[in-house]
Amino acid sequence: MRDLVAGMRYLGQGQCWVARHRRWWGFGLLPALITLVLYAAAFTVLAFRADSVAAWATPFADGWGAPWQALLRGLFVALLCAGGLLLAVLTFTAVTLLIGEPFYESLSERVEESAGHCPPGPDLPLWRELWAALRDGVHVLLRAAGFGLLMFALGFVPFLGQTVVPVIGCCVSGFFLAVELTSVAMQRRDIPVRARLRLLRGRPALAVGFGTPLVLLFLVPFAAVVLMPGAVAGATLLVRDLVPGEEEPAPDREGRGRDHGGPGPDGSGTGQDVAAAGRVPAGA
């Protein structure tokens, strides 16, 4: 229960962080806006073709009389749209992180610096970072798709399919959403995707508490765009809790630690956030 609440708290802290650093919030909106346009077009096509897909997928019901044919195909359309929405939530995050990899990497570094210390990431060219993000995203999405197909099939079970299964589906989607959002800070620590999954499986309530509220909020139109920068910031704070034992670099003779990353959109460079007094408040 404590981890469940902690996950929600990190989500809130991330949104508070971008509220205090509004230029970074605007900086992180751009990739999400691009992805939103692409997904809106795809979901519009799905909505208009859902009846045709239902008729194609249930040929055995062609000879059924009313109202059974309409009930079966109506249920299929509802499950198809619901599954499409949940899949869109997961893939939206993966695609947005891929499109905005340089944006969210800079945002995540800034959050780490304001929280105390940003660990140095692997020195890789941009194309290799993008390839790693794509490869890891596909790995996570394939696992999520397997669970999604299982939830889709269980959705046809009377009563349970309309009550218990949607709740379980949201929690599973929340877990995988947390895996995707933590990938920015995890990749900087050079943690492979299978190790990330093991870390989050070790504290599933933390991942579910962070990701499940986002799954529900992302279903609200435009909420994914608005909340995405704060979600990345909150996931970065969550990783700092999940991967302990990182030591800050020793200061040099002038009292300065190692600097990481490049200047952000506010032109402030990558120094410590004095206003945050070295830490993001735990109760933010």
- Structural domain includes residue 263: no
For residue 179, is it within any domain? yes
- Helix 164-181 to helix 68-99 angle (10° resolution) is 10
58: containing domain: 2-243
pLDDT in tens, 24-77: 898 888 898 998 898 888 888 888 888 888 888 888 877 787 788 888 888 888
Query: Is 67 within a domain?
Result: yes
Domains held by the chain: number = 1
Q: Which own/partner pairs from 135-139 qualify as long-range (CB within 8 Å, at least 24 positions apart)?
A: 135/193, 136/183, 136/187, 136/193, 137/94, 137/97, 137/98, 137/180, 137/183, 139/193
Residue 182 CA to residue 22 CA, distance in Å, equals 21
Instruction: Note the pLDDT of residue 20.
Output: 93
Q: Is residue 225 part of a domain?
A: yes
In this structure, is residue 261 part of a structural domain? no
Asked whether the beta carbons of 246 and 119 are under 8 A apart, the reply is: yes
Residue 257 resides in a domain: no
Q: Which pTM does this prediction carry?
A: 0.70
Domain annotation covers residue 105: yes
Is 269 inside a domain boundary?
no
Tell me: the pLDDT tens digits for 227-279?
A: 999 999 999 999 998 886 555 544 444 444 444 444 455 544 444 343 333 33
